[in-house]
Amino acid sequence: MTSPEIPSRRSAPHLLTLVALTGIAALSMNVFLPSLPGMARDFGVDYAVMQLSVSAYIGATAVLQLLAGPISDRLGRRPVVLAGLAIFLLATVGTLLAQDATTFLIFRMVQAAIGTCMLVPRAVIRDLYDGDRAASMLGYVTMGMSVIPMLAPVVGGILDEAFGWRANFAMMGVLGVIVAVVAWRDMGETVRDGGISLRVQMQNYPVLARSVRFWGYCGAATLASGSFFAYLGGAPFVGEYVFHLSPAQVGYYFALPSIGYLLGNAISGRKAAQLGMNRMILMGATLCVVALSAALLADLADIVNPFIFFGSIAVMGIGNGMVLPSANAGMMSVRPQLAGTASGLGGALTIAGGAAMAALAGAMLKPGAGATPLLIIMALSATGSVASILWVMRREAALRRSG
């Protein structure tokens, strides 16, 4: 008989558990963003240095996903999630105790262990569902978890003004403990037959690497996410230095793209199985290009208004909510038995691209530059996402004609 404390090996976790796991990972990424300018002043460093807590953290998450994906295919989803949560909680204590920027950034990098909670739920969904159905279920999972990053910057800005920036990391720790308890009790194993050995995985890597579909879906996800990650790296600067907003006000505006992402996920959950992955990705990526191009044109026309800037980001969020569930499902459909590996490799590329975009945004945003550099980066990245899915669709059409 199975112990009540530990789920049976093959019991699938509840959908809400997957939502909680992805939610705590998203919370760690963006709850403290309104505090970045104040943190830079507190530690006595430039904004670009403190912005490394976003860009370098994203980069560390990318490396982790590259490693954790194959490990979860071999050892299982449950142990990878629990280990990631434990490391995250220890690192969170370190960020709270840090007295200088270097120490803080070291522990912030270790916090990236929570990235396992972004990769594993995707692999679990692919373990349980196929094709367009997996895209639909991923839409529901990310729809639920998008509520957390929608509220997190708002709460983070309020906590910063009331108690200082460390209150945000204290909240991460408390919620991390709660999610760890939930995962321990409910996170059953979905990997079949004891997992795939690393040797067999290595033999299957060339199949993944040679797939046009895999790289096309990766490109669509990476470049769509790149727009958002650039926004994460640059919006706190734009909020304070261009629109002269307080941390709490920046937090309120930060809710807009998450509201958009929630709506996009709802569309994906309801329509992905009906429309198909490729059409859903193309529609979402095109919406991102239109919204960001409109904001860029307004900025170039010297129409400086936070409602226009953040409103366009909200529409971009709808597009990303439509793109990412289907793009992730597409990556994992190439080699279903390597769902964790595909999720990890695709996630690593997506997040690495995001880290580069966030760092580029941080480097280009200087006093007096306005929002123009950020909007150019975001619009170009979204255009690349459209090109990637069109490449996949053209390739699949050619194969149908030849076959």
For the CA atoms of 304, 152, 379, 281, the dihedral, rounded to the nearest 10 degrees, stands at -140
Residue with the bigger pLDDT between 155 and 269: it is: 155
Question: Does residue 213 have a pLDDT over 50?
Answer: yes
Residue with the bigger pLDDT between 15 and 135: it is: 15
Q: What is the pLDDT of residue 6?
A: 42
pLDDT band at 297 (very low <50, low <70, confident <90, very high): very high
Question: Does residue 293 have a pLDDT over 80?
Answer: yes
Distant-in-sequence, close-in-space partners of 369: CB < 8 Å, separation ≥ 6: none
Question: Does residue 339 have a pLDDT over 70?
Answer: no
pLDDT band at 305 (very low <50, low <70, confident <90, very high): confident
Closest CA to 179 of 256, 263, 114, 274: 114
CA distances from 306 to 123, 278, 327 (A): 38, 33, 31
Q: What is the pLDDT of residue 387?
A: 95
pLDDT tens per residue, range 348-379:
777 777 777 777 777 777 766 678 888 898 99
Residue with the bigger pLDDT between 394 and 69: it is: 394
How many degrees, rounded to 5, is the angle at CA 350 between CA 386 and CA 79?
140
Question: Does residue 327 have a pLDDT over 70?
Answer: yes
Question: Does residue 194 have a pLDDT over 90?
Answer: no
pLDDT tens per residue, range 46-56:
877 887 887 78
Question: Does residue 215 have a pLDDT over 80?
Answer: yes
Q: With contact defined as beta carbons under 8 Å apart, do 20 and 85 qualify?
A: no
Q: How far apart are CA 25 and CA 65, in angstroms?
A: 13
Q: With contact defined as beta carbons under 8 Å apart, do 72 and 262 qualify?
A: no
pLDDT band at 8 (very low <50, low <70, confident <90, very high): very low
Q: Evaluate the CA torsion angle 371, 372, 377, 381 in order and state its sign.
A: positive
Q: With contact defined as beta carbons under 8 Å apart, do 366 and 353 qualify?
A: no
Beta strands in 180-232 (DSSP E): none
User: Collapsing DSSP states into helix, strand and coil, what is residue 365?
Assistant: coil
pTM > 0.85: no
Q: With contact defined as beta carbons under 8 Å apart, do 212 and 360 qualify?
A: no
**Domains assigned to the chain:** 15-402 (1.20.1250.20)
Within 13 A of 326's CA, how many CA atoms are on the CB side? 34
Q: Of 32-36, 130-134, 231-235, give the range with the top mean pLDDT.
A: 32-36
Q: With contact defined as beta carbons under 8 Å apart, do 27 and 148 qualify?
A: yes
Question: Does residue 255 have a pLDDT over 50?
Answer: yes
